[in-house]
Amino acid sequence: MKKIGIITLMLIIILQAYGQETVSAEKKENQKTDTLLKSQDDTKVSIGKDFLTIDEGKDNVNIRIGNHAINILESLEGGSKVTIKKYNSDDWDDQDYSSDDSGHHRHRNHFKGHWAGIEWGFANYLTGNSFVMPNDIHYMSLYDSKSDYFDINFMQLSLGFSRHIGLVTGLGLNWDCYRFDGDNSIQKGANGVIEEYASPVPLKKSKLKTLYLNLPLLLEGQIRVENNTINIAGGVIGGVKLWSQTKMVTGTGNKLKNTDDFSMNLLRWGPTVRLGYGCFQIVSTYYVTPLFKKGKSPGGHDLCPFEIGFALTFNG
């Protein structure tokens, strides 16, 4: 009830402001709205892309902001009746158009992709098509259930071809944590070649951690189901490496860290697919760019990162 009261108050304030502006608009030609339609008994004003619509008839006024609306109906006996309604996003008219300054019309689509949010899942890397490391680089084997990734996708841009299909891009931060299975770590050897670091003391755990800035380019389609959507997206994700570090914890609890570039590729890219319902997504990405530079990888083997996990998006 508190939320409805706040919305009602906002709408009444806007209605009062609208009443003042319609009077002053006749005197100021430089004031603009996206759409202004008038007839003898009706006035309709639209501001922004589905931000505000005011539809005034002879006996009623309907004000809509986003998916909420207030309707004020004047009764024949005098007085007014006020009702509040919540719409589904599909209630907006697909064929509604607005004009830009040049007089051309643009289609008002309402496509919103599913990128911005948080992700978590399992991280690993493949050599060839296998998760099993060759014998000569057994020290690169991972503790699968303890190797994971975490993403914060903090920026999104959606470009809709229609209400339910469009391109999605943005920015995100990706943390990978590769937990080694053995009592070992890695180091840069001669000429920057990655080799095994055998710890002189027993280890509780040993990790390789990385941080990337991600840039996606996705094509997403959406299928409306009741009050939500099934969304399917595919495309590519490019990344720029910002940081890398090894971390070891000894049996006595001492922590040993080494921050280095570890001869890793600065840039990477790979195909990705995303399948979701509303704000919940299942995501998978395979980076075709090897983790380490050519000629610097452990034993000369290319290790290509792979991630599979879950996402919660902000606009589901």
Which CATH number covers residue 166? 2.40.160
Cα distance between residue 304 and residue 306, in whole Å: 7
pLDDT given at position 195: 96
- Residue 25 is inside which H or E element, if any? helix 2-25
Cα distance between residue 5 and residue 7, in whole Å: 5
Are 101 and 126 contained in the same domain?
A: no
**CB neighbour class for 175 (10 Å; exposed up to 12, middle 13-18, buried from 19):** middle
Q: Is residue 288 part of a domain?
A: yes
Are 42 and 165 contained in the same domain?
A: no
Start-to-end CA distance of the chain, whole Å, equals 24
Closest of 262, 256, 136 to residue 200, by C-alpha:
256
Q: Which of 107, 141, 174 is the last residue of a domain?
A: 107
Are 153 and 10 contained in the same domain?
A: no
pLDDT given at position 284: 98
Are 90 and 125 contained in the same domain?
A: no
Q: Which residues contact 216 (CB under 8 A, 6 or more apart)?
A: 115, 168, 169, 170, 172, 235, 236, 237, 238, 272
pLDDT given at position 226: 83
pLDDT given at position 68: 65
Are 122 and 101 contained in the same domain?
A: no
Are 191 and 95 contained in the same domain?
A: no
pLDDT by position in tens, the chain (length 316): 444 444 444 544 444 444 444 434 344 444 444 444 454 556 666 654 455 677 777 677 777 765 667 777 776 565 667 777 765 554 544 444 344 444 444 444 589 999 999 999 999 999 988 989 999 999 999 999 999 999 999 999 999 999 899 999 999 999 999 999 988 999 999 899 999 998 888 899 999 999 999 999 999 999 999 888 999 999 999 999 999 999 999 988 899 999 999 999 999 999 999 999 999 999 999 999 999 999 999 999 999 999 999 999 987 5
pLDDT given at position 157: 96
